[in-house]
Chain A
Amino acid sequence: MPHHKLAAGIPCRICSLPFALPRSSAPTRSVPKETLTSEMNAETSDAPPTSLVDRTVVPGDTVLDLTAMASQTIKLGAGLRQDCDTISVMKAGKLRLSKPNKYWVESSHKRYVPCVEDTVLGIVVDCKPDNFLVDIKAPTLAFLPVLAFEGGTRRNIPKFEIGTLLYVRVVKANNSMNPELSCVDETGKASEFGQLKDGYMFETSTGLSRMLLSSPTCPVLEALGKSLSYEIAVGLNGRVWVNASSPSTVILVSNAIMNSESLSGVQQKIMVEKLMQRLQ
């Protein structure tokens, strides 16, 4: 029986916009169409703005006209800005909408901007008396307090050598301070945080990590899980750890994942099938 375990954390950000939406979700409208079609004219050349949801937008695009929605509350996430009466895009990416009124732009980068409650994969760079310095692909190194482990006291401080791979959670993230991490969840339990032993780690973009963590299960992971048994941990900072019993399986899984970024669900399934056929 193929065993496929996703060691994923709770996918949420503090601005309360879920980052992961089912890939097959149809674009939804939160504002009645007739009021918008009259307003949106010069900016978007063809259709009303809410049909920009789930489409690629670039900085400068206007996505909403607020004169049409006078008494509504709209929550804006990353990459959007209010310009008097319009909402315009600041970052290139896909515009996402969560009913009823949450909008944000999702983009895929090599760099990671730390957000609270993100689960990431970090590499220990240095050990200090009070905390470990951990690299999470952020602009600055992150601190992992020595006591932030389940049942952690001054007597049983874990000994991590330089280069240890950890699965951690971001606790504090401001752009002026170093981010702070923790190896326990909110209730104080370890819950799969901590050191990842053996296996292989590779780096991808943040967009691919989000796709791998989306629910329902990402097609490439599902297709691989049908014929191979492996263990995987995905960090939102673009790092993925794979472990399996034989090195060839690990190499297969890692290469399949790396090639699947730009493919649609069906294409991913086909790619994995071809890969499995080539091996047999």
Chain B
Amino acid sequence: MEQRLASTCRMTVNERKFVETALASDLRVDGRRPFDYRRLTIKFGREDGSSEVQLGQTHVIGFVTSQLVQPYRDRPNEGTLSIFTEFSPMADPSFEAGRPGESAIELGRVVDRGLRESRAVDMESLCVVAGKSVWSIRVDLHILDNGGNLIDAANITALAALSTFRRPECTSGGENGQDIIVHDPEVMEPLTLIIHHLPIAVTFAFFSEGNIMVIDPTHKEEVVMGGRMTATVNSNGDVCAVQKAGGEGVTPNMIMQCLRIASVKAADITSKIKNAVETYNTERTLRKVKRHSSTVTQQVSVPDVIMKDKQAENIISHQEEMIQHEPDRSSNCDDEMTVNTRTCIKTEGNRRDRCTDPFVGGPSNWDPYLNKLSSNLVGKSQDLLGPLTISKEQQESKSNKMAVENSPEHATISSNSETLGVSGPRQQTDVAKSLKDAVKSKARKKSKTSATTS
């Protein structure tokens, strides 16, 4: 009996009275105004589809995974989306491991309804073979710390994780074209989910018979509140779901006011999520682009360098909607950097700073005799060129237009990787040859440049 008593939340009568009297004068215990959200931070892990959200003291992490399954009988050409929640006992003394309690099930249901009923995630694009196999997306939400308002935080976590999740590319192949081959992420670039809009859940707490309403209640306010309502809206103003499970009665005017406030807050939170996802995506793309251009420094030939920039641009425009000239500039900078610099670049501002610094030492590092230097440097570049060939293949598969142009370069690179010792001086002589050609005969130079730059 004592154990159970020890694990419940204790609120004194003083606190209860104080929270209500303070709210009567529009004051909240942590100093917020009634319609202020707590500070929201969205972070991502190294893997695609993992997110960590902190809303004040509340801390939630989410993971998205996918699997090929048989579709439901009544929806043979749609994928499935399922939400699982885990209320870890470290979050709150009243959470117990094992079977989820009432509030856990309610939370999962509200998040699920917001995504499914509003068709935020496109299900039909998850179909691989109609009636036989579709992608099943599973979202796992773990509550790490309960500081109040778990529904909002869990919803944001799920949205952030889904926005950065990438499912493997799969094609049909095999003997009779019936088998489905799931491609490794190294071989073929995985695809994002198609998300039409972001449904944001906004929770309201009611006090003193439904007269006072606050947004984003903390743990203490949740113990004291009389009723709670969650409105899931998106930034277009559509109401995706409303949840009010018991509690005090509320007038219809109050509910309309809540919906209006919710749509304002939803726009704000949507922009925060989108910014965080964009930062993550640019960083992710940079990680890939850096891998390519770090091998370019070994090859030294200028026409090839220009080729790679264009390909890098195509990758970026494929993966992201907006075309920005920043990656182009950064990949130019990266070309000048030596192989050993492998720092993680987080923001675009940092990227620009990074670009300028290597330029200072740029010309002195760029040494045409670099390839002759040490054997371990050569060995390192050999390792690097290995993954380069694989990624080159994946780029080829992606951009069919560039397939023709890719192949001659692909051929040159593969030949380089085989005989690296020879390639160094050969490229040097290539460079020397092009310069000499510029002086001697224009016809020979024209044919050479047309072969490499086409």
Contacts and interface: CB of A to CB of B under 8 A. Distances in A.
B28 to A, nearest CB: 8
Contacts of B2: 140-141
A123 B29 CA distance: 20
B10 A125 contact: yes
Nearest to B28: A251
Contacts of A163: 10-13, 16
A165 B17 CA distance: 13
A234 B27 CA distance: 24
Contacts of A254: 29
A247 B31 CA distance: 11
Contacts of B22: 247, 250-251
Given A140-B2, A140-B6, A251-B31, A200 B13 contact: no
A241 B21 contact: no
B245 interface: no
A278 B30 CA distance: 16
B13 A248 contact: no
A201 B29 contact: no
A135 interface: yes
B441 interface: no
A141 B13 contact: no
A248 B25 CA distance: 9
Contact of B18 (A164, A247, A252): A247
B290 to A, nearest CB: 38
Contacts of A141: 2, 5-6
Contact of B27 (A165, A199, A251): A251
Interface string A239-264: 00100000110111011000000000
8 contacts: A133-B5, A135-B10, A163-B11, A199-B14, A241-B14, A247-B21, A247-B22, A254-B29
Interface size class of B (residues with CB under 8 A): 20 to 34
A164 B16 CA distance: 11
Given A247-B21, A248-B27, A200 B6 contact: no
B15 A200 contact: yes
Contact of B5 (A126, A164, A241): A126
Nearest to A248: B27
B12 A123 contact: yes
Nearest to B220: A202
B115 to A, nearest CB: 36
A165 B14 CA distance: 7
Interface in B219-253: none
B14 A198 contact: yes
A164 B31 CA distance: 25
Instruction: Provide the main secondary structure of the chain B interface.
Output: helix
Contacts of B10: 123, 125, 135, 163
Nearest to B30: A255
Nearest to A133: B5
Contacts of A247: 18, 21-22, 25, 27
Contact of A165 (B12, B21, B28, B31): B12
Interface string B15-48: 1111001100101111100000000000000000
A200 B18 contact: yes
Could you say which of B5, B12, B16, B18 has the most chain A C-beta atoms within 10 Å of its C-beta?
A: B12
B338 to A, nearest CB: 37
A273 interface: no
Interface string A142-178: 0000000000000000000101110000000000000
B32 to A, nearest CB: 10
Contacts of A20: none
Nearest to B24: A247
A274 interface: no
B24 to A, nearest CB: 8
Contacts of A140: 2, 6
Contacts of A241: 14
Interface in A88-129: 123, 125-126
A68 interface: no
A201 B18 CA distance: 9
B25 A197 contact: no
Given A133-B5, A140-B2, A197 B30 contact: no
Nearest to B6: A141
Contacts of B13: 161, 163-165
A190 interface: no
Interface string B331-348: 000000000000000000
A78 interface: no
A196 interface: yes
Interface string A171-198: 0000000000000000000000000111
Nearest to A258: B30
Given A163-B11, A251-B29, A255-B31, A199 B18 contact: yes
B12 A201 contact: yes
Given A163-B11, A200-B29, 14 more contacts: A133-B5, A140-B6, A163-B10, A197-B14, A198-B17, A198-B18, A199-B18, A200-B14, A247-B18, A247-B21, A247-B25, A248-B25, A248-B27, A251-B29
Contacts of A199: 14, 18
Interface string A199-215: 11100000000000000
Interface string B192-221: 000000000000000000000000000000
Contacts of B12: 123, 163-165, 201
Nearest to A252: B31
A125 B27 CA distance: 29
Q: Which 10 A-B pairs have the closest CB atoms?
A: A247-B22, A200-B18, A165-B12, A163-B13, A123-B10, A163-B12, A165-B14, A255-B31, A201-B12, A123-B12
